[in-house]
Structure formats: structure tokens, C-alpha cells
């Protein structure tokens, strides 16, 4: 007899398990049951949204420690008692991450600007397609 486990419970277990096999075992389900659910659009969306939320929470936690990490690297870089190579490695790390974050921020800004331009265009195209479909239905 198949268990009627809500999608939310399965998603939560998938997020907390190392594999689908482990999640299925913990829930008392067969793996194929979970694979079938994962093909359903509603389940896919629920799972994708939950995974996105987990990543966003983890990212926020990492960002909370970013200032401390930079301070630590800066402290190592500035301490004369550390070996020159250690200090150089800290300085290099600061510069590399600064460049990486700057590039990503620039890309994000450019994408945002493109989305602002494309959104009205996309809406216009949708309206045009709807109008065309309606005129095709009339004739």
C-alpha cells in the first residue's frame, strides 16, 4: 500500500538527505515514487523553490561573515611577524576576491539594466501575440 505523504514532507526530506535513496528510505517510500513525483510540474516547482530558499539562506549566512573574513585577511597581511609569503597570500586573496565581487556586481547591474529594457518589449510582444490570436479566432 502506497503511503500518501505530502509533497512538502518529501521536499523537506530531500533537502535534508544526501540522496534520493536516503530520503526514500527515511520516508518509507520506494525511490521510484520520489522520481515520479519529481516529474510532476507542481512538485518540481515546490522543490525548486525550496532549494532556492536554502541557497539564499546559506548565501545570507556567508555574507554575514564576509566582513570578518576580510578583516582576518587584512590582519594577516598587515602583521609583520608573519612570513612574507603568508602576508602575500593574504593580500592576493583580498585582491582576487575584490575583483571577483566587482565583476559579479557589474554583471548583475548590466543584467538588471537589460531586464528593464526587455520587460516592456516582452509585454508588447505578448499583447501583439494575444491580439493576433484573437483576430485569427474571429476570421
Percent of the chain, pLDDT > 90?
Answer: 71
pLDDT mean over 132-137: 74
pLDDT of 132 reads 80
Q: Which tens digit of pLDDT belongs to each residue from 68-102? A: 999 999 999 999 999 999 999 999 999 998 899 89
Enclosing domain of residue 15: 1-66
Looking at residue 129, what is its pLDDT?
80
Asked whether residue 49 is assigned to any structural domain, the reply reads yes
Q: At 96, list the grid cell.
A: 582576487
Q: Would you say 61 and 28 are in contact if contact means Cβ atoms under 8 Å apart?
A: no
Structural domain count, the chain: 1
For residue 132, being part of any structural domain is answered with no
Question: Is 83 within the bounds of a domain?
Answer: no
For residue 41, being part of any structural domain is answered with yes
Amino acid at each position: 500500500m502506497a503511503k500518501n505523504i505530502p509533497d512538502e514532507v518529501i521536499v523537506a526530506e530531500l533537502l535534508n538527505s544526501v540522496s534520493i535513496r536516503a530520503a526514500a528510505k527515511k520516508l518509507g517510500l520506494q525511490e521510484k515514487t520520489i522520481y515520479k513525483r519529481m516529474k510532476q510540474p507542481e512538485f518540481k516547482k515546490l522543490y525548486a523553490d525550496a532549494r532556492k530558499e536554502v541557497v539564499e539562506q546559506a548565501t545570507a549566512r556567508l555574507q554575514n561573515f564576509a566582513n570578518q573574513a576580510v578583516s582576518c585577511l587584512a590582519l594577516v597581511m598587515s602583521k609583520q611577524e608573519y612570513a612574507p609569503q603568508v602576508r602575500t597570500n593574504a593580500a592576493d586573496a583580498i585582491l582576487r576576491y575584490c575583483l571577483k565581487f566587482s565583476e559579479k556586481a557589474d554583471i548583475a547591474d548590466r543584467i538588471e539594466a537589460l531586464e528593464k529594457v526587455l520587460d516592456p518589449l516582452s509585454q508588447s510582444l505578448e499583447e501583439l501575440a494575444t491580439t493576433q490570436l484573437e483576430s485569427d479566432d474571429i476570421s
